């Protein structure tokens, strides 16, 4: 028997295991998924928890429920991968041998990496919303907020779901307006990049969205520390941003066992070829989803499109054939903009987000780089698609590679 | 793509003036680019520029300030002293690389 071991039962790991279970002969291959618990979280849903739209029951299912028959789920903490011996050691002493390994343990917010972030003010006046506990605590804090400075802050790129901080800001603006509090709350968006929109076409189309909503942008802000006592962010060049309520996106890092195993870069991301997702060091290790170092967005859509390419490649690779598929970095993300509207963006390694229609060229029903109600309905419907189509590995009638059909490329004069 | 003339060389740039062709860059050109933004390049500047260039060739994207600090060994404070106010952007400009960007 040949053994495929998948580390991580999240979006990428679950899809990969399910798709391959349907394609690999059960008499020849075992498939095992390892995770530390049996809770699968629909992470895109965290965004709605601070505003009371979703609660914990909307975003949690059991992991084993989504794994196809013939896949073993092992619960345990990963201590390290021994790539030369082709085994994975768990912290409890168990050892799992493999012939092929897929690393899909994602990325995690690390508030411990910024001085002053964790401490007496953590989840008192300083919150994150990329964890369920953080999003729930923030919901309570927002209910108590009736005036002051609400600061939304990104520590450093890359972060998972890179549009979520902007979405949170737009939703907070709309939520405060609904409650009649918008005039009493100053809303500030702090980013290490040179603006909220950094891609030229998106900036041209959407650049005014923050000013229109009276949201102040603090660009080029590299945080050095948080002065929790005086409630302010302090940058390396000694700028200060005071806050009453801080919603921060901590530094994101891959799992620590990746570093212990000698497989990661400085942020514990597994170094892979960006078109095949094969480790640059070992010919039997792949990394899928947020865990890899590919220069694509860390997003479920990227994991999904990459997985489609990976599965066909993997079947060739294990037969000793060259891999013919090439992942293009395709991402497709909804961006909530408040008041029942959303944007949709579609892009890849080489093409920035452009206006147009999606998925059917010129028809839609979704509109790219434009605020519409249909896009918002698409975002809400996606949760159903995620649980029922995407995770089980059922085919979705969307091509894995980005298409230029239906996209409008601005001429150079524009 | 628009072009611009710097120090007698015609180079391809984007709307913000960042070079778009990796191979059009040279060290003498970097000195001229630095002049455009009021910088006189010292050995410390060059250490950062050369790291960014070689890292880009390996990674396919411009290193973040954190990566320049952790992997390149140049503390972030020093980068702010060398390339005041906007080190990530200024460094990318002088090194002839795309500025760090998000997905929108």
pLDDT digits (tens, 9 = 90+) for A53-88: 999 999 999 999 999 999 999 999 999 999 999 999
Question: Would residue B54 count as lying in a domain?
Answer: yes
Q: Tokens representing A95? A: 């050892």
Q: Which residues of A touch B16 (CB under 8 A)?
A: 200
Q: What average pLDDT does the structure give for chain A?
A: 96
Q: What is the dihedral of CA A138, A139, A144, A147, to 10 degrees?
A: 70
A236: closest chain B residue by CA? B77
Is B16 exposed, middle or buried (CB count within 10 Å of its CB: 0-12, 13-18, 19+)? exposed
pLDDT higher than threshold 80 for residue A196: yes
For the segment A111-153, what is each residue's pLDDT rounded down to a tens digit? 999 999 999 999 999 999 999 999 999 999 999 999 999 999 9
Residue A126 and residue A117 in contact, taking contact as beta carbons nearer than 8 Å: yes
| Residue range A263-310, pLDDT digits in tens | 999 999 999 999 999 999 999 999 999 999 999 999 999 999 999 999
Question: Which residues from A are below 8 Å from B65, CB to CB?
Answer: 156, 192, 222
Q: Look up B1 and say whether it is catalytic.
A: no
Give A184's pLDDT tier (boundaries 50, 70, 90): very high
Give the residue numbers spanning the domain of B79: 26-94
- Are residues B64 and A156, on separate chains, in Cβ contact within 8 Å? yes
Is A264's Cβ below 8 Å from some Cβ in B?
Answer: no
Please spell the DSSP secondary structure of B58-101, one letter per residue: HHSSPPPHHHHHHTT---HHHHHHHS-S-HHHHHHHHTT-PPP-
In this prediction the ipTM stands at 0.91
Which of chain A's residues have a Cβ under 8 Å away from the Cβ of B89?
194, 220
Does residue B49 fall inside a structural domain? yes
A224–chain B Cβ distance below 8 A for any pair: yes
Using a CB-CB cut-off of 8 Å, the residues of chain B touching A157 are: 64, 100, 102
Number of domains in chain B: 1
Which residues of chain B have a CB within 8 Å of the CB of A194? 86, 88-89, 99
Asked if the structure places residue B9 within a domain, the reply is: no
Q: How close, in Å, is residue B60 to chain A by CA atoms?
A: 7
Flag if B70 and A347 touch (Cβ within 8 Å): no
- Where are the domains positioned within chain A? 2-109+253-317, 111-251, 332-390
- B21 lies in a domain? no
- Check residue A271 and give its pLDDT: 96
* CATH number of this structure's domain A2-109+253-317, picked from the four choices 3.50.50.60, 3.40.718.10, 3.30.1360.120, 3.10.620.30: 3.50.50.60
> How far is A191 from A222, CA to CA, in rounded Å?
8
Query: Is B15 a domain residue?
Result: no
pTM summary value: 0.95
A199/chain B closest Cα distance in angstroms: 5
Closest CB from A157, A197, A236 relative to B104: A197
CATH of domain A111-251: 3.50.50.60
Cβ under 8 Å to B: A residues 155-174: 156-157, 162-163, 166
Torsion of CA A401, A406, A407, A409, to 10 degrees: 130
What confidence tier does B73 reach under pLDDT thresholds 50, 70, 90? very high
CA angle A225, A228, A233 (to 5 degrees): 45
Q: Do B15 and A200 touch (CB under 8 A)?
A: yes
Of all residues in chain A, the one with the smallest CA distance to B84 is A237
- Residues B34-59 have a mean pLDDT of 96
The rounded distance, in Å, linking the Cα atoms of A8 and A105 is 4
**Residue of higher predicted confidence among B1 and A7:** A7
Tell me: pLDDT of A414 over 60: no
Please tell me the distance from the alpha carbon of residue B87 to that of residue B65, in angstroms, as a whole number: 8
Task: Collect all residues from B whose CB is shorter than 8 A from any CB in A.
Answer: 1-2, 14-16, 59-61, 64-67, 70-71, 76-77, 79-80, 84-89, 99-104
Among chain B residues, CA nearest to A223: B76
In 3-state terms chain B splits into helix, strand, coil percentages (rounded to 5) of 50, 10, 40
Of B1, B15, B103, B104, the catalytic one is B103
Q: Which of A192, A252, A369 to mutate to test the interface with B (most CBs of B within 10 A)?
A: A192
* B48 within some domain: yes
Instruction: Name the closest residue on chain A to residue B72, using Cα atoms.
Output: A266
**B-contacting residues of A 285-324, CB under 8 Å?**
293, 295, 297
In angstroms, the CA A201 to CA B101 distance is 13
Q: Indicate if the pLDDT at residue A412 is higher than 70.
A: no
**Calpha distance A4→A26 (Å, rounded):** 11
Fold match between A2-109+253-317 and A111-251? yes
Strand order through the sheet with A232-235:
A223-227, A232-235, A240-242
């Amino acid at each position: 028997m040949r053994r495929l071991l998948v580390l991580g039962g999240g979006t990428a790991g679950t899809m990969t295991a399910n798709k391959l279970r349907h394609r690999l002969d059960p008499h020849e291959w075992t498939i095992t998924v390892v995770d530390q618990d049996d809770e699968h979280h629909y992470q895109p849903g965290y965004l709605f928890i601070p505003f009371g739209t979703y609660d914990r029951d909307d975003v949690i299912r059991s992991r084993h429920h989504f794994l196809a028959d013939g896949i073993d789920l092992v619960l345990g903490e990963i201590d390290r991968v021994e790539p030369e011996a082709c085994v994975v050691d768990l912290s409890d002493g168990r050892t799992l041998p493999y012939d092929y390994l897929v690393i899909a343990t994602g990325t995690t917010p690390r508030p411990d990496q910024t001085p002053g972030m964790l401490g007496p003010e953590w989840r008192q006046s300083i919150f994150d919303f990329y964890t369920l506990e953080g999003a729930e605590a923030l919901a309570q804090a927002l209910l108590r907020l009736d005036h002051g400075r609400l600061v939304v802050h990104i520590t450093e790129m890359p972060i998972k779901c890179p549009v979520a901080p902007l979405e949170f800001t737009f939703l907070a603006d709309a939520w405060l307006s609904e409650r009649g509090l918008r005039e009493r709350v100053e809303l500030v968006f702090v980013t290490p990049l040179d603006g909220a929109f950094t891609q030229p076409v998106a900036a041209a189309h959407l650049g005014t969205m923050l000013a229109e909503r009276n949201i102040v942008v603090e660009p080029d802000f590299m945080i050095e520390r948080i002065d929790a006592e005086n409630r302010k962010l302090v940058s390396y060049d000694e700028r200060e941003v005071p806050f009453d309520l801080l919603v921060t996106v901590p530094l994101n890092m891959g799992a620590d066992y990746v570093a212990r195993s000698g497989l990661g870069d400085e942020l514990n991301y597994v170094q892979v070829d960006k078109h095949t997702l094969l480790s640059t060091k070992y010919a039997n290790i792949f990394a899928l989803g947020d865990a890899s170092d590919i220069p694509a967005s860390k997003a479920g859509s990227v994991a999904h499109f990459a997985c489609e390419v990976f599965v066909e490649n993997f079947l060739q690779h294990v037969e000793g054939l060259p891999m013919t598929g090439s992942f293009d970095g395709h991402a497709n993300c909804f961006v909530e903009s408040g008041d029942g509207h959303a944007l949709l963006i579609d892009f890849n390694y080489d093409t920035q987000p452009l206006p147009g229609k999606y998925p059917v060229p010129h028809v839609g029903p979704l509109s790219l780089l434009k605020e519409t109600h249909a896009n918002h309905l698409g975002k809400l419907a996606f949760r159903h698609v995620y649980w029922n189509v995407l995770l089980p590995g059922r085919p979705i009638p969307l091509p894995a590679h980005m298409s230029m059909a239906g996209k409008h490329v601005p001429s150079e004069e524009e | 793509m628009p072009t611009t003339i710097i120090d007698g060389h015609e180079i391809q740039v984007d709307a913000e003036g960042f070079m778009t062709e990796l191979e059009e860059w040279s060290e003498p050109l970097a000195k001229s680019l630095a002049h455009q933004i009021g910088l006189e390049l010292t050995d410390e500047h060059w250490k950062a520029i050369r790291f960014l260039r070689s890292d880009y060739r390996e990674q396919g994207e411009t290193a973040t300030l954190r990566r320049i600090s952790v992997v390149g060994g140049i503390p972030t404070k020093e980068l702010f002293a060398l390339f005041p106010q906007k080190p990530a952007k200024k460094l990318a400009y002088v090194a002839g690389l795309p500025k760090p960007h998000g997905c929108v």
